[in-house]
Amino acid sequence: MIDLRSDTKTQPTAEMRRAMATATVGDEQLGEDPTVHVLEGRAAALLGHERAIFLPSGTMANLIALLLHVGRAGDEVVLASETHVLRSEAGGGAALAGAVFRPLASDDGVLTPEQLADAVRPDDIGAPRTRLLVAEQSTNWTGGRLWSVDALDAILDAAADLALRTHLDGARLLNAAVALDVEPDRLARRFDTVMLDFTKGLGAPLGAVLALPAALEPAARRFKRMLGGALRQAGICAAACLHGLDHHVARLAEDHANARRLADRLAALDGLDVVRRPVTNIVLAETPDPTAFLAALRAEGVLASRAGATTVRFVTHLDVAGPAADRAADAAQRALDRTATTVEA
Ligand SMILES: Cc1ncc(COP(=O)(O)O)c(C=O)c1O
């Protein structure tokens, strides 16, 4: 099977498993795991922040950010409508952080300063207070799109003028840094808080960090405990994340090249419309009947996922070499032939 459903690898590499097996560990809940300390220091420096907190998942990191910035006050969070926070985190921001979400339409998940300014509520006792901007870099459900450095600077200037706090969902921030050819901190340091995930292209079995100013650290660590995120010998997992940082960042460019290779092949097929040529590792394509297409594709040995009523999503990653992208495109051709035959029959 070629699994293109997400960029989380099915198996950590043998080298990553070795790094995990030989990690020096301690009790993370007591603040005594040395490998977690190393990872938190590395991540803070990488993202241009004073501190970083190791967490089991990106979803928990995003939720802690919402708890820090909104904190059950019914305040409003402005974000693009297809962001993961809104679409794929089980409504946790509303249920647990008391956030009111203000989704803004955007084909590529990138917002303009004008959209942000228009979304901010007037000072009115009946209106939620607009408190936070959430940006996603690179985007997930809109197909791995990027905020350019200029677009980021513009939205962050606007957020500062509007006295909004800012959170970056950087699940795939390193994909963005590689694609834009900039240091990660250039994309991250101006945000109040930043999430970075190690389970995407970096291939770790679990782990994310929330980077933040030192002043927010005690409250964030308390929320981590409250949500069940305090761990014990977590260095085993932090070692995998460090291995990912050491060995799997530069190669993200290969995932991007493979996504373009796959997209170019898919674009040539009748029955699939590639939404936009990918700039990172996600390919979206339109097809009239995703359920039938995905079932036929599975029968051909390729797994992809549904991203919308008529949209399918392919994600390239550490397990997908260039020839596998070609094999996936061949399988897509056969799957389209199969579904066409079924419809005719
Ligand atoms: C943009 C984005 N944010 C957050 C997450 C959540 O990360 P995790 O699976 O580590 O909870 C994902 C996962 O796919 C994502 O794509």
Q: What is the pLDDT of residues 173-219, one digit of tens each?
A: 999 999 999 999 999 999 999 999 999 999 999 999 999 999 999 99
If you measure from the C-alpha of residue 341 to the centroid of ligand 1, how many angstroms do you get, rounded to a whole number? 37
- Name the pTM for this structure: 0.97
Both tokens of 186, joined, read 């250039």
Cα torsion angle, 257, 285, 336, 315, sign: positive
Q: What's CA 46's distance to the chain center, in Å? A: 17
Site to probe by mutation for ligand 1, drawn from 54, 81, 84 as the one with most ligand atoms within 8 Å of Cβ, is 84
Query: Per-residue confidence at 72, pLDDT binned at 50, 70, 90?
Result: confident
Structure-block tokens of residue 222: 């308390």
Evaluate if residue 345 carries a pLDDT over 60.
no
Query: Ligand 1 centre and the CA of 88: distance in Å?
Result: 8
Q: Which of 197, 199, 284, 305 to mutate to test the pocket of ligand 1 (most atoms within 8 A of CB)?
A: 197
- pLDDT range class, residue 342, cuts 50, 70, 90: low
How far apart are alpha carbons 230 and 222 in whole angstroms?
9
Question: Which ligand 1 atom is at minimum distance from the Cα of 89?
Answer: 6
Task: Kindly give the distance from the C-alpha atom of residue 119 to the centroid of ligand 1, in angstroms, as a whole number.
Answer: 25
Q: Tell me the pLDDT band of 11, cut-offs 50, 70 and 90.
A: confident
Report the distance separating Cα 209 and Cα 186, nearest Å.
17
Residues in the chain: 345
Q: DSSP labels for 284-317? A: EEE-S-HHHHHHHHHHTTEE-EEEETTEEEEE--
- Ligand 1 midpoint to CA 89 (Å): 8
Which atom of ligand 1 has the smallest separation from the CA of 83? Answer: 1
* Cα-to-centroid distance, 59 and ligand 1 (Å): 6
Note whether 203 and 9 are within 8 A (CB). yes
As a whole number of angstroms, the distance between CA 299 and CA 303 comes to 9
pLDDT band at residue 343 using 50, 70 and 90 as cut-offs:
low
Ligand 1 centre to CA of 79 (Å) is 15
Pocket of ligand 1 (CB under 6 A): 57-59, 62, 84, 136, 140, 169, 171, 197, 199, 208
- Report CA(171)–ligand 1 centroid distance (Å): 6
The whole-number pLDDT of residue 160 equals 98
Ligand 1: residue of 59, 172, 198 to mutate (most ligand atoms within 8 A of CB) is 59
Crossing angle of the two packed helices 290-299 and 322-344, in degrees rounded to 10: 120
Percent of the chain whose predicted confidence (pLDDT) is above 90: 94
Q: How confident is the model at residue 344 (pLDDT cuts 50, 70, 90)?
A: low
**234 contact partners, CB below 8 Å, separation of at least 6:** 25, 28, 33, 35, 36, 54
Which of 2-6, 87-91, 270-274, 318-322 has the least mean pLDDT? 318-322
